[in-house]
Structure 1
Amino acid sequence: MLAPSLMLNLINTAYYGFGQFLPGLLSIFFFRSIRPAGIAAGLIAGDLFAIGMHLAQMNFLNIILA
């Protein structure tokens, strides 16, 4: 009975990671002077923020309307 909830959480976590990966990848393609440490820091900070929001059961609508 817990498997659907677990799978949904895993899929959401994977989407958070992909959502943070795409801006870093696009910045590599369009801005050649960007440093790898900056991309890595953005990935880590963005993933921690997104997972923290997921664990706190917040979404962007809660932030916008607050």
Structure 2
Amino acid sequence: MTDQKKAKKKALKDSQLIVRIAGSERDRFVSLCDTLDTSAAREIRRFIRGFLKEHDDQLDGQ
């Protein structure tokens, strides 16, 4: 991986979000992600990006 790609990757993922959910829900979610050949983190990021895009007009004044 080039230095430019490393810098871009680091810049994109420089924060964490801790979410508390029931262990059984987490286990089911992770298991389903494995079945679908994706990762839990990837799907959470996809949800967040879609949610932001859907509600982008509400963020204009902030």
| The two structures share one fold, judged by TM-score above 0.5 | no
If asked which structure has higher relative contact order (CA below 8 Å, sep 6+), I would say 1
- Structure with the higher helix share, 1 or 2: 1
TM-score of the superposed pair, with normalisation by structure 2 = 0.33
TM-score of the superposed pair, with normalisation by structure 1 = 0.32
